[in-house]
Amino acid sequence: MSSSSEPTGQPAWAAVPADWPRTEAEATAVQERLRGGVDASSAAILPGDPGLMVGVDVAYDDERDLVAAAAVALDARGLARVAQATAVGRVSFPYVPGLLAFREIPTVLAALDRLGHTPDLVVCDGYGLAHPRRFGLASHLGVITGLPTIGVAKSPFVFRHDSPGPRRGDASPLWDGTQEVGRALRTQPGVKPVFVSVGHRMTLDVACAHALHLSPRYRLPETTRAADAACRRALAALAREHG
């Protein structure tokens, strides 16, 4: 047993599953197998509903082959912090565009387990359906956990888009041919847009509304900002303890 005087608690250790994909071919096969499980037909939670909005993010120390993940729960009404948890582990996959989930998910799952609350929405750093195989990180995490998820990415990936209007809330589609798979969304006036896509149990309109609601002051959602800070702190603490 361990006592925690830290407000955040000690990080959980995240083991990489023995059957985790090791090659790109194995990883893409997993995506092809799971992608049918995505539900984008309706939104499990609406902005304004009570509930817990959970941001997840990951920080890396490739030198030491370490990952730290954080899950931070904010009250949907008022965005006050309710709980947070962190986890650390070994890097489970190299960075390959399109296969980000295999790098982040084991540690993120450990942090979510440790949270002690069931999220009503998980906000991921990256993409969901706006992905080469329609199964980015947010969708993958959603299908594995069964939780509603959205992706909010900081930079464009594979799909083209026009610049959204200058006002907060202005958006323009991310096109995969003639299909809208995501949206470039202006969360703050005069600031670069973010890129929103559905993860699981969510629609694009509602995903954008959540992203906007979660970003009252800065470009990025408060969930993402909180999770980013928390996983960086966890990684720094880990490097401090060891060498």
3-class secondary structure, 185: strand
Stretch near DNA under the rule CB under 7 A, chosen from 32-40, 41-49, 113-121, 135-143: 135-143
**What residue has token string 């990952």?**
67
Helices (H), the chain: 24-34, 101-115, 137-145, 204-213, 222-241
Q: Which residues contact 1 (CB under 8 A, 6 or more apart)?
A: none
Of 131, 134, 213, 225, the one binding DNA by CB under 7 A: 131
Output the six-digit token pair for 36.
């049918």
Residue 106 identity:
P
Is residue 97 at the binding interface for DNA, with CB under 7 A as the rule? yes
Q: How many residues sit in the footprint of DNA (CB under 7 A)? A: 27
**Which residues inside 136-165 make contact with DNA, applying CB under 7 A?**
136-138, 151, 153-158
Output the six-digit token pair for 198.
């559905």
**Residue closer to DNA (CB basis): 51 or 85:** 85
Stretch near DNA under the rule CB under 7 A, chosen from 18-26, 42-50, 57-65, 69-77: 57-65
Please state, in angstroms and rounded to a whole number, the distance separating the CA atoms of residues 31 and 207.
22
Of 70, 181, 206, 235, the one binding DNA by CB under 7 A: 235
Run of H or E residues at 66? strand 66-75
CB of 109 to DNA, least distance (A): 16
Stretch near DNA under the rule CB under 7 A, chosen from 6-14, 40-48, 93-101, 109-117: 93-101
Residue 108's CB is within 10 A of a number of other CB atoms, namely 30
Please state, in angstroms and rounded to a whole number, the distance separating the CA atoms of residues 213 and 76.
9
CB of 107 to DNA, least distance (A): 12
Is residue 13 at the binding interface for DNA, with CB under 7 A as the rule? no
What is the binding site for DNA (CB under 7 A)?
Answer: 57-60, 95, 97-101, 125-127, 131, 136-138, 151, 153-158, 228, 232, 235
